[in-house]
Amino acid sequence: MRDNQDTLLHKGRRNLLVQQLRESGRFEERVLKAIGAVPRHLFVEEGLEDFAYKDTPVAIGASQTISQPSTVALETQLLNFKPGARILEIGTGCGYQSAVLFYLGAEVFSIERQAELFPRAISNLEAAGYLFLDEELAVQTSTNVNSGKFHLYLGDGFLGLPAEAPFDGIVVTCGAPHIPQKLLEQLKVGARMVIPVDFEKEAQGREKKQMLKVITRVSEGRYQAEDIGVASFVPMLEGINGK
């Protein structure tokens, strides 16, 4: 069993990471503050804690990786939401980005397709002190957890959450083969979706790359897209795995 402490050593390492991100000049202070606050070492796989505060992706099980902190910071910043915003995240993974969104005041709706990771994200968020399942209002089933500002689902992110739409922002944390129509429909007018979209077919020995895009719904029927830069994410896949 891992002990869920956030020691001075963890905090020191986290501060160094924040300093490194700050020096890149790409991030707003409020986003850096969130990265400085959320104990990332409690979200990575046991034994990999030493890698938690390097700016690299880290394995989280089920052949998935948690995005590197600078990518989480960038996607979060690009969402540009205010406290109280209802944000849909596709790809809960280990729950780290959910915690960052929560720290910045979002009500978090998050979908994960890997049955193995879904309970792990829940226990990570509990261990880090963000999610409370013993509250009277908490609802927990094998495919859905609702507690306070967290609404976590085992499901297919291509479908979004029509029952909870529209959202003040949508962040996709896996590389999408195309921009899912259902997600576009679930954006509020004026809101943004941050999504990495494949632009290169898988070539031998070469990872697929994505263009990170910001899609703004400018009116009921009109969307505007902006390309931010090249990124590399694990693939967005259809259906639920392992159920």
Could you say which residues in the range 60-119 bind ligand SAH, by CB under 6 A? 60, 64, 66-67, 90-91, 93-94, 96-97, 111-114, 117
Identity (one letter) of the amino acid at 217?
R
Query: How far is 229 from 212, CA to CA, in rounded Å?
Result: 5
Give least dist CB 172 to ligand SAH, A. 8
| Choice between 18 and 94, CB closer to ligand SAH | 94
Q: Match 């850096």 to its residue by tokens.
A: 32
Could you say which residues in the range 114-143 bind ligand SAH, by CB under 6 A? 114, 117
- Cα-Cα-Cα-Cα torsion 232, 74, 117, 38, nearest 10 degrees, comes to 140
| Choice between 147 and 173, CB closer to ligand SAH | 173
Tally of residues, the chain: 243
Rounded CA Rg of the chain: 17
Strand-strand pairing, 107-112 and 86-90: parallel
Give least dist CB 184 to ligand SAH, A. 15
| Choice between 18 and 88, CB closer to ligand SAH | 88
Give least dist CB 91 to ligand SAH, A. 2
Classified as helix, coil or strand, 191 is strand
| Choice between 175 and 191, CB closer to ligand SAH | 175
* Residue 183 lies near ligand SAH (rule: CB under 6 A): no
From residue 141, alpha-carbon distances to 37, 84, 118, 162, 163 in Å are 29, 25, 11, 19, 17
Give least dist CB 37 to ligand SAH, A. 15
- Interface mask toward ligand SAH for 147-166; x: CB under 6 A: ---------xxx--------
- Interface mask toward ligand SAH for 207-236; x: CB under 6 A: ---------------------------x-x
Contact call for residues 31 and 22 (beta carbons, < 8 A): no
> Which one of the listed residues 24, 63, 67, 219 is annotated catalytic?
67
Query: How far is 55 from 40, CA to CA, in rounded Å?
Result: 11
Give least dist CB 161 to ligand SAH, A. 11
Contact call for residues 167 and 187 (beta carbons, < 8 A): yes
Displacement of CA 44 from its chain's centroid (Å): 14
Which one-letter DSSP state was computed for residue 81? Answer: P
Q: Catalytic: 110? A: no
Catalytic residue annotation: 67
- The binding site for ligand SAH (CB under 6 A) comprises 60, 64, 66-67, 90-91, 93-94, 96-97, 111-114, 117, 156-158, 173-174, 234, 236-238
